Amino acid sequence: MEEVDQPEAMQLANHQQFINWESLSKELEKVTFELNTLTYRLSHDFNAPLSSILGLIDLIELEHGDIASQYLHMMRGRINRMRDIIRDLVYSSRMQNQTSVIENADLSTIIQREILELSDLNNYHKLKITSQILGDCPIKTDLFRLRIIINCLVSNSINYANLINKKPSVKVQAKCSTKDLQILIKDNGIGIPQEQQLKVFEMFYRGTHASNGSGLGLFLVQKAVHQMNGTISLKSESGKGTTVKITVPNHFS
């Protein structure tokens, strides 16, 4: 029997190992794609009946609101929590599969649209939500991920509003230059204790048992910012509020 020398044997072993890893990588990509596709489709299927239930709650409130208002309010809150979880799952799935597309952006329209989409949240009408655009320069960026960032951050500020405060508020400020785009979202909500601030960007982390979210919001924001080659910073004080600053490149120049 012909013997194979040691260097050649090592080459064969390394080649076989490479083939195995390549095969495993392809299989993992396939499973990930199928899982993300399943999550995306099921999320959309779940949203339809939830929207129908909210519509029925609206009708009941019109006809019997005085009798059942407390329970209807609780039902709406639970449904909105489920919708937030579904929304975050959809965002996570799409961010995994969708490549970056750089498009022209109308910042004012984008911000107002994302704020309006959160109008079903329980605290929405109890806060003053304002937006401000500083600078008048053209913007080209990844609109899909920018919308996720704004939506998740404003949603957090609404959900964790300090309603004991006489003037609960959320301020969204955007500042552009030919180099980059800065988004500042500031609230005077319940804030985040110092010892929890390093953990809030972790997947599924909830800072309180009273949390209504999925635990994915800030994780998705950080992921979107990194995919856009940007930076994120957070400042918060318990009982006084939170400020999140996002900086992403402006690709117009």
Domain boundaries, the chain: 1-98, 102-249
Is residue 194 scored above 70 in pLDDT? yes
Residues with Cβ within 8 Å of 28's Cβ and at least 6 positions away in sequence, in order, are: none
Reply yes or no on whether the pLDDT at 18 is more than 60: no
- The tokens of 201 are what? 């960007």
**CATH number of the domain located at residue range(s) 102-249 in this protein:** 3.30.565.10
Max mean pLDDT among 38-42, 81-85, 121-125, 233-237 falls in 233-237
137 against 134, higher pLDDT:
134
Note the pLDDT of residue 116.
92
Domains 1-98 and 102-249 share a fold: no
Q: Which two tokens stand for residue 159?
A: 């959900």
- Among 182, 195, 199, residue whose Cα is nearest residue 237: 195
Mean pLDDT rounded to a whole number for the chain:
81
Q: What residues does 104 pair with on adjacent strands?
A: 140
173-176 long-range contacts (CB < 8 A, ≥24 apart) are 173/131, 173/132, 173/133, 173/134, 174/107, 174/111, 174/131, 174/132, 174/133, 174/134, 175/133, 175/134, 175/135, 176/107, 176/133, 176/134, 176/135, 176/137, 176/139, 176/250
* Mean pLDDT, range 204-229, rounded to an integer: 76
Helices (H), the chain: 6-97, 107-116, 143-159, 217-227
* Euclidean distance between CA atoms 231 and 180, whole angstroms: 11
pLDDT at 167: 92
Over residues 60-75, the pLDDT tens digits come to: 877 776 777 777 777 7
Mean pLDDT score, 20-43:
66
One-letter identity of residue 26: K
Degrees (nearest 5) of the Cα angle 184, 187, 193?
Answer: 105
The answer, yes or no, to whether residue 224 has pLDDT greater than 80, is: yes
Predicted confidence band of residue 203 (pLDDT cuts 50, 70, 90):
confident
Q: Which long-range CB contacts under 8 A does 47-52 form with residues at least 24 apart? A: 47/83, 47/86, 50/79, 50/82, 50/83, 50/86
CB 234 within 8 A of CB 242: yes
Q: How confident is the model at residue 113 (pLDDT cuts 50, 70, 90)?
A: very high
Average pLDDT over residues 155-167: 89
pLDDT at 82 over 90: no
pLDDT given for residue 217 in this prediction: 81
Please tell me the predicted confidence (pLDDT) of residue 123. Answer: 87
Which of 127-136, 141-150, 198-207, 219-228 is the least confident region?
198-207
Instruction: Please choose, from the candidates 194, 196, 120, 118, the residue with its C-alpha nearest in 3D space to the C-alpha of residue 157.
Output: 118
> What fold is seen in the domain 1-98?
Helix Hairpins (1.10.287)
Query: Is pLDDT larger for residue 50 or for residue 5?
Result: 50
Range with the lowest mean pLDDT among 36-45, 59-68, 188-197? 36-45
Please report which confidence band the pLDDT of residue 120 belongs to, taking 50, 70 and 90 as the band edges. confident
What pTM was computed for the model? 0.71
Q: What is the pLDDT at residue 242?
A: 95
Question: Would you state the pLDDT for residue 101?
Answer: 87
What is the DSSP secondary-structure string of 38-87?
HHHHHHHHHHHHHHHHHHHHHHHHHHHHHHHHHHHHHHHHHHHHHHHHHH
Whether the predicted pLDDT of 212 surpasses 70: no
